[in-house]
Amino acid sequence: MLKKMIAVLTALVFSASAAFSVDYSGKTITIWVPFKAGGGTDAVARALTAPLSANLPGNPAVVVKNMTEGGGIGSVNTYVAKHGKDKDGLVVLATSGSTQLPFLFKDKRVRYDYKNFVAVHGAGTGGVVYVRSDLGVKDIVKDFDKLKGSKLFYGSQGISSLDAVPALAFDMLGLPVKLVYGMKGRKGGRAAIMRGETTIDYQTSSSYNKHIKPLVAKGEMVALMSWGVQKGNKIVRDPNYPNLPSFTEVYEKVTGKKPGGKEFQAWSAMFSAGFTTQKFLVLPKGTKKSVIKTWQKAAAGIVANPATMKVLNGKLGKYPHFIGDKDLKVALKKASSMKGSTYSFLKDWLASKK
């Protein structure tokens, strides 16, 4: 018994000393963002640079690199090829729904597996659907027939991306939205509607707040609905946009029935992976345990600081943050797994959109 106690104490001391041995003094930490600057993932990464620097041992410089060659999927493939065996935590990958959903869809271009990542920080987000004001639509429920009769064009980065969420939502509502492919991220979609090339768009909360909300205030764009947020088994209004109905609320009002069936099950699965558990910072699975613990401790320090969270919530919206190894594992699994029946439905639906 005494030998066993000594062994346990020795292991604890070794574990503690290993955690303290991580020191990033004089180092530069890179957040690898697989999208252009200006998008939601980029906004989250840039908002975290100063807090991470303050909470990581040695207060290293933390910089964002927008690695866009090959698009989001190609960039994550490149991260895995170049840094998949790293152990030091110097280059961390920022993922989003636009990299998670292609993995769930078994996109042939994907060369990464979420089972080979370890999450050190996670966060949810929201999204807002809006249209150009020259459509003359003010309220999505009251003016639904007018919206349905309008020429609706949506700038998409590809159906095997986060854009599958709005595309299926539009289908469920019976809106005749034409998808215009070739956009470089949601930033490209935003630029297209601002130029008048498209008429309907959505942005994640951080991008909407920064770029579109001011245009809504000027009367150039009109916000129609948010996707909502998960509350238990229900999707309710996003508290960041209390005056906007959620997608499920709009669906019920314009169709006269509650959402359900295979379509809604598929949409809910994508919403969960693309929004409820959307943004992650991940390291390769082979990263030293002491490094992973150090990163997770830094993330916990950020979330525990009210002043820091006030700044982050102001920039990104107030959404759940996932910290601690146990909660992060659950969140990452939820974001990167899907029932076989749901996948079968989506496989056919995705094929119909190509």
pLDDT 10s digits, 79-130? 999 999 999 999 999 999 889 999 999 999 999 999 999 999 999 999 999 9
Count, residues in the chain = 354
As a whole number, mean pLDDT of residues 191-201 equals 97
Helical (H) or strand (E) element with 11? helix 2-20
**DSSP line for 213-225:** HHHHHHTSEEEEE
The per-residue pLDDT for range 32-68, each reduced to its tens digit, is 999 988 888 898 899 999 999 999 999 999 999 999 8
Query: How far is C-alpha 185 from the chain's CA centre?
Result: 13
Residue 7 confidence (pLDDT) above 50 = no
CATH 3.40.190.150 in the chain is located at 11-124+277-343
| Burial of 288 from C-beta contacts in 10 A (0-12 / 13-18 / 19+) | middle
**DSSP line for 244-269:** SPBHHHHHHHHHSS---HHHHHHHHH
In CATH, the architecture of 11-124+277-343 is 3-Layer(aba) Sandwich (3.40)
pLDDT of residue 185: 82
Distance CA 313, CA 319 (A): 8
Neighbour-count burial for 124-151, b at 16+ CB within 10 Å, e otherwise: bbbbbbbbbeebebeebeebbeebeebe
As a whole number, mean pLDDT of residues 16-31 equals 81
Q: Enumerate long-range contacts of 175-179, CB under 8 Å, 24 or more apart.
A: 175/147, 175/148, 176/148, 176/152, 177/152, 177/153, 178/152, 178/153, 178/154, 179/154, 179/353
52 HSE (CA, 13 A, CB side): 27
pTM (two decimals) = 0.83
pLDDT of residue 70: 87
Cβ count within 10 A of residue 154: 24
pLDDT of residue 20: 53
Identify the CA nearest to 120 among candidates 5, 240, 260, 22.
22
pLDDT of residue 11: 41
Measured between alpha carbons, how far is residue 321 from residues 129, 269, 327, 331, 354 in Å?
Answer: 23, 19, 10, 10, 35
Q: Scan for tokens 């271009």, then name that residue.
A: 109
On whether the CB atoms of residues 44 and 206 are closer than 8 A, the answer is yes
As a whole number, mean pLDDT of residues 163-189 equals 94
CATH 3.40.190.10 in the chain is located at 127-273
Q: What are phi and psi of 279, to 5 degrees?
A: -100, 125
CATH class of the structural domain 127-273: alpha beta
